[in-house]
Amino acid sequence: MKSGERQSFSARVREELIRLPAGKSCCMLSEISALTQTSGHLAFRGGGWISVSYRLEDAGTARRLFLLLKKRLAVNPTLHFTQTPRLGGRRICVLTLNGEDARVLLDALHMAETDENGQMHLKRTVPRHPMTRQCCRRAFLRGAFLGAGTVTNPEKGYHFEWKAEDGELARTLEKLLEKCGLPFHSYERKGRQVVYFKGAQQIADILALMGAGQSVLSLENTRVRKQVRAAAARAANCDEHNSEKMIDASLRQGEAIRKISLKQGLFTLPPALQELARLRLENPDLSLKDLGDMMTPPVGKSGVNHRMRRLMEIAEGLK
């Protein structure tokens, strides 16, 4: 078996995100802010100085953070490795900023200020970076995934989550997801706040938002195979001709909706079209009438037909 075949889906998503371009100056700072919140640690030194260290289990993430810090803030973190008793003594990467480099980072994240005597004082214990632009929100979510996110292999199920060590990170994630129009869930697990998605389409949306387009395609291909297998099994108990026509139409509709999802994200659609698109992707074997019955409030077949035609037109208009 090739090493790529043994790699988890979560690791493949992580690798794809690591390979993305660093982006604009504001986006780099947003990603640094997220990694500081998920993996950063402060330590007080003599003379009022503070050092910042990042403990990262993934060498690729450490390499990306190293480049972001160097390119965006012109600082030079030191790198060393240490053993952790967790995960069988796995080696982890530690990036450290000391002295003036730490001050530059903390100033950029609005975490510290320097008094008239040159002494540095913490203003707040969590990074604070304005994310008014969509590109910055995408970068923060990407950095948070690299630092504290996982996603299940879609062959086994659909689950995407961030594990937040503190409530501030969880609140930031929830606020950004609300602004992006992505429905999410949260709960507490062993003292940590977990923000997560369960639906396949919601996971596809967040992967696309972070920039993991190839992972979206992989997830969608897996979902289509699973749905077609399930639909074929159910169709065996129905009239063959009608079932084939319905499945063909459903697959065409699903392909159009996935195209919209990949190109611009379903969250960009009007709420009525979003609801129908998600229902179609999650229920490829149902008729339009049945989909209308599931909507809130229920919609007649003609109304569902009209909305589906609008979705198909939007997909056809995408280059």
Q: Which residue has the higher pLDDT, 25 or 250?
A: 25
Residue 168 lies in a domain: no
Q: What is the pLDDT of residues 180-225, one digit of tens each?
A: 888 899 988 888 899 999 888 899 999 999 999 999 999 988 888 8
Burial of 268 (C-beta count, 10 Å sphere; 0-12/13-18/19+): middle
Range of the domain at 81: 3-122
pLDDT grade, residue 264 (50/70/90)? confident
pLDDT at position 6: 59
Tell me: pLDDT of 239 over 60.
no
Residue 207 lies in a domain: no
Identify the bridge partners of residue 122 per DSSP, sorted by sequence position.
112
**DSSP annotation string for 39-65:** HEEEEE-GGG-EEEEEEES-HHHHHHH
Of 55, 87, 122, which marks where a domain is finished? 122
Residue 300 lies in a domain: yes
pLDDT at position 4: 40
Q: What is the pLDDT of residues 136-152, one digit of tens each?
A: 999 999 999 999 999 99
Residue 131 lies in a domain: no
Of 122, 138, 166, which marks where a domain is finished? 122
Q: What is the CATH number of the domain that holds 71?
A: 3.10.28.10
Closest CA to 14 of 107, 118, 151, 139: 151
Residue 136 lies in a domain: no
R_g of the chain computed on alpha carbons:
23
Number of domains in the chain: 2
Please compute, for residue 287, the number of CA atoms within 13 A of its CA located in the half-sphere on the CB side: 11
Residue 82 lies in a domain: yes
Residue 222 lies in a domain: no
End-to-end Cα distance, the chain: 38
Residue 211 lies in a domain: no
Of 122, 150, 172, which marks where a domain is finished? 122
Question: Two tokens at 11?
Answer: 């690791």
In Å, how far are 186, 252, 282, 313, 314 from 257, measured between CA atoms? 27, 9, 11, 10, 9
Encode burial over 231-252: b for 16+ CB neighbours within 10 A, e otherwise: beeebeeeeeeebeebbeebee
CA separation for the pair 37, 280 (Å, rounded): 37
Handedness of CA 141, 256, 159, 20 (dihedral sign): negative
CA separation for the pair 185, 201 (Å, rounded): 14
Q: What is the pLDDT of residues 74-131, one digit of tens each?
A: 999 999 888 776 656 678 899 999 888 988 998 888 887 766 666 666 776 667 667 7
Q: Which residues does 79 contact at the CB level (< 8 Å), separation at least 6?
A: 62, 66, 93, 94, 95, 96
176 neighbors 210 (Cβ within 8 angstroms) = no
| DSSP type of residue 284 | T
Mean pLDDT, the chain, integer: 86
